[in-house]
Structure 1
């Protein structure tokens, strides 16, 4: 992990920051008009029992620059839990510095610690830079879907990486 990077769990008081990054992601995806979530929504999702989601804040040189928000679900087909990454965002000016790779590595470690057999997420089909990044970490598309999956040796390899 780059020395300038710190990953930390979101804490109460970060609701506005989470909303900021969700809105930034939606703007990048040309979907800002669909965001109706508020800070109150994120307070309930992230910090009230029962917790429905978790979030990680990426800080570069002490400044918040990214977010990952996920939850755990199950696969009825294989009977195992899975980590579903709902949102990941890194400020465009800081992409290519290892922040995304570090976030995915941390999530892979958490997925394995929680007994998950895989991680999944979706990507817009026009988002070629993100798709190329996902291929670089070992993720493969699910036929007929844009849902991404990281499992098996690729999940373990990513979890084992220290960069």
Structure 2
């Protein structure tokens, strides 16, 4: 199955509430690939609340051979300079047995299409510095690193402390 260079027919569907189990499986598989399994604290209940009740992000499934072959988790941000929204791609993941078959490219292409359809000014994401296969993939699709910007994060105890200052 996986690893061949033949393109696979891909369709897309937005995740629904009933998909939280599949979403969590994909998140765990992504975390394993990124060597970050110990950081996954999401549960089906938490995902259901934030994705479907609060609607803070969307999940797009890439469907191939009758099942979920990959997914993208994304949300909207806003550029004050452009004066319009953009899409932030939080996660893009293709199951190992479906890699090398054009599915990752199809997902990026679909997200770019969504951005265009909705008038968004950007599609952006972050990538781990060590993830050379993904970096090569993104560069080959016209992405460019934003080397003059550094991401910052406050979480856990530091977030609680900052909120109380």
TM-score by length of 1: 0.83
Bigger share in strand: 1
**1:4 corresponds to:** 9
1:29 aligns with 2:39: no
**1:89 corresponds to:** 93
Rounded to whole Å, the distance in 1 between the matches of 2:9 and 2:65 is: 5
Aligned match of 1:133 in 132, 137, 149? Answer: 137
Q: 1:5-84 maps to which residues of 2 (within 5 A)? A: 5-48=10-53, 50-84=54-88
Q: Deviations over 1:101-123 (max 9, x none)?
A: 11111100111122211111010
- Greater Cα radius of gyration, structure 1 or 2: 2
Question: Larger RCO: Structure 1 or Structure 2 (Cα < 8 Å, ≥ 6 residues apart)?
Answer: 2
SS at 2:125's partner residue? strand
1:44 is displaced (CA, Å) by 1.6
Rounded to whole Å, the distance in 1 between the matches of 2:13 and 2:70 is: 11
**1:159 corresponds to:** none
Q: 1:102-121 maps to which residues of 2 (within 5 A)? A: 102-121=106-125
Rounded to whole Å, the distance in 1 between the matches of 2:150 and 2:141 is: 16
Give the number of aligned pairs: 145
The gaps in structure 1 that reach 5 residues or longer are: 148-163
1:134 is displaced (CA, Å) by 0.2
1:129 is displaced (CA, Å) by 0.4
- In angstroms, what is the RMSD of aligned CA positions? 1.6
1:52–1:71 Cα contact (<8 Å) kept: yes
Rounded to whole Å, the distance in 2 between the matches of 1:53 and 1:20 is: 17
Rounded to whole Å, the distance in 1 between the matches of 2:120 and 2:46 is: 26
